[in-house]
Amino acid sequence: MCTDCGCAPPQPGHDHTDDHASRKILVEENLLAKNQRLAMSNRVRFAAHQLLVLNLVSSPGSGKTSILERTLTDLKDSLQFSVLEGDQQTANDADRIAATGAPVKQINTGAGCHLDAHMVGHGVEDFDLKTTDILMIENVGNLVCPASFDLGEDHKVAVLSVTEGEDKPLKYPQMFQAADLMLINKIDLLPYLRFDLEQCKTFARQVNPQIKIIELSCHSGEGMQEWYYWLDHGVNQKRGTRNAERE
Ligand SMILES: Nc1nc2c(ncn2[C@@H]2O[C@H](COP(=O)(O)OP(=O)(O)O)[C@@H](O)[C@H]2O)c(=O)[nH]1
Ligand SMILES: [Mg+2]
């Protein structure tokens, strides 16, 4: 359990007899319930604009911003993106995204280890959601706490780079259970590492049998087309909803 922010739900078998522990669990439950209400209101707002909303989660340094930079550049003629960037400090990532020409807003969480639905609700106020196809939310680098916080997204996308070790889905199962898609990034480095790709995929499917997996390298470009097809499919599904509503 994350004792700093109290963001993980209580575990089964937790000792409820202790007063302090019970109070703490109550605060955590209230925190998550409040977040869930705000996430639902974000979701209603996003649905009104038929937005595809993705929440990118990973350890720091797995390549979230690099994947976004390449994606936004490659797809800028076909899709309109808006990007929320979450980090504890600095606007470094927002500056990198701004260089692609996409609308971007940086959210600094200070001591906070994750984005929450309230931050996202305010963060999107500056964007023109009517003209946006995909809202990308890059969460704070952390494989634990962002798993517990719904932001109103359609999908959590977990990015795992091959330098992190193939056992991470087993060590941080909540994150890989919460994700619909896992991007295995930096596969250009595979020849130089001891990383068992098949084992990594087996571990991910062990904790989440439904998870879709795409192997890619945003440096070499390998695998990026499959990611773009997945994005296109998601956007088309949203447009289908929009067309069906108009008929
Ligand atoms: N070799 C290689 N390096 C990558 C790749 N993607 C990202 N990186 C590097 O990984 C580091 C962290 O990337 P960044 O996008 O800032 O990660 P983030 O913290 O998840 O946003 C940077 O030095 C990137 O150049 C990749 O596909 N291959
Ligand atoms: Mg980043």
Q: Which residues are CB-contacts of 246 (< 8 A; sequence separation ≥ 6)?
A: none
CA 65 to chain centre: 12
Does 7 fall in a domain? Answer: no
CA of 148 to the centre of ligand 1 (A): 25
Cα(92) to centroid(ligand 2), Å: 8
Q: What does the alpha-carbon distance between residue 81 and residue 36 come to, in Å, rounded to a whole number?
A: 25
Residue 187: CB within 6 Å of ligand 1? no
Q: Is residue 133 part of a domain?
A: yes
Distances (CA, A) of 87 to 91, 94, 162, 234: 8, 10, 22, 26
Provide the CATH number for the domain around residue 153.
Answer: 3.40.50.300
Residue 203, domain member (yes or no): yes
Considering the domain boundaries, does residue 3 fall inside one? no
Residue 186 near ligand 1, beta carbon < 6 Å: yes
Q: Does the residue 70 lie in any domain?
A: yes
Task: Please tell me the distance between residue 244's alpha carbon and the centre of ligand 2 in angstroms.
Answer: 36
Instruction: Give me the number of domains the chain comprises.
Output: 1
pLDDT of residue 117: 97
Range of 118's domain? Answer: 19-246
The answer to the question of residue 14 being in a domain is no
Per-residue pLDDT tens digits for 168-179: 999 999 999 999
Please enumerate in sequence order all residues whose Cβ is within 8 A of that of 85, keeping only pairs 6 or more positions apart, or say none. Answer: 65, 91, 93, 94, 97, 104, 105, 106, 107, 138
Asked, for residue 58, whether it belongs to a domain, the answer is: yes
Q: What SS3 class is residue 134?
A: strand
Torsions phi, psi for 55 (to 5 deg): -110, 105
Tell me how far the alpha carbon of residue 176 lies from the centroid of ligand 1, in angstroms.
Answer: 20
pLDDT tens by residue, the chain, 247 residues: 455 565 655 555 555 456 777 877 777 778 899 999 999 999 999 999 999 999 999 999 999 999 999 999 999 999 999 999 999 999 999 999 999 999 999 999 999 999 999 999 999 999 999 999 999 999 999 999 999 999 999 999 999 999 999 999 999 999 999 999 999 999 999 999 999 999 999 999 999 999 999 999 999 999 999 999 999 999 999 988 655 554 5
Helix (H, G, I), strand (E, B) or coil at 232: helix
Q: Which atom of ligand 1 is nearest to the CA of 217?
A: 27
- Residue 4 domain flag: no
Q: Which atom of ligand 1 is nearest to the CA of 220?
A: 27
Alpha helices of the chain — where are they, by DSSP H?
19-48, 64-74, 92-98, 117-123, 168-171, 173-178, 197-207, 224-246
Q: Which atom of ligand 1 is nearest to the CA of 60?
A: 19
Distant-in-sequence, close-in-space partners of 182: CB < 8 Å, separation ≥ 6? 157, 158, 159, 160, 169, 176, 204, 211, 212, 213, 214
b/e per residue 64-86 (b: at least 16 CB within 10 A): bbbbbbbbbebbeeebebbbbbb
Task: State whether the beta carbon of 223 lies less than 6 angstroms from ligand 1.
Answer: no
First to last CA, the chain: 48
